[in-house]
Amino acid sequence: MTLEIESSVAATFAAQLHTAFRVAHVGTTIEIELVEVADGSTSRQVSFSLLFRGPQQPLLAQQIYSFEHDRLGRFDLFIVPVKQDTHGVYYEAVFNRLIEPPPGAHERA
């Protein structure tokens, strides 16, 4: 199963809060946990962010990784390390896309 990341919304991930995601990294797999979903979407724009927590090592560099989740399936995601504390390293993924108006909506305005 493959997740269509281009059409995902915050609720897609909110239902998977505090579950493990497997990230392919240099011939091995690292488990990271989804710890926060922040939704700033409006009627015109999908805008949300995901915060994952992973182990102290290895540190995942800012780049696109292949993710896998038991319920969501496989997908590629660009993550950025944003902070580190005694619990691990935190990675963020940010989504922003305009919502296309229905066909003919511009003609009615």
> Which pLDDT tens digit goes with each residue over 66-93?
999 999 999 999 999 999 999 999 999 9
Region 61-70: mean pLDDT is 96
**Continuous segment of H or E residues that includes residue 92:** strand 88-98
Residue 109 has pLDDT above 60, yes or no: no
Domains of the chain: 5-100 (2.40.10)
What pTM does this model have? 0.89
What type of residue is 1? M
Nearest residue to 76 (alpha-carbon basis) of 15, 20, 8: 8
Nearest residue to 99 (alpha-carbon basis) of 50, 42, 49: 42
- What 8-state DSSP symbol labels residue 58? S
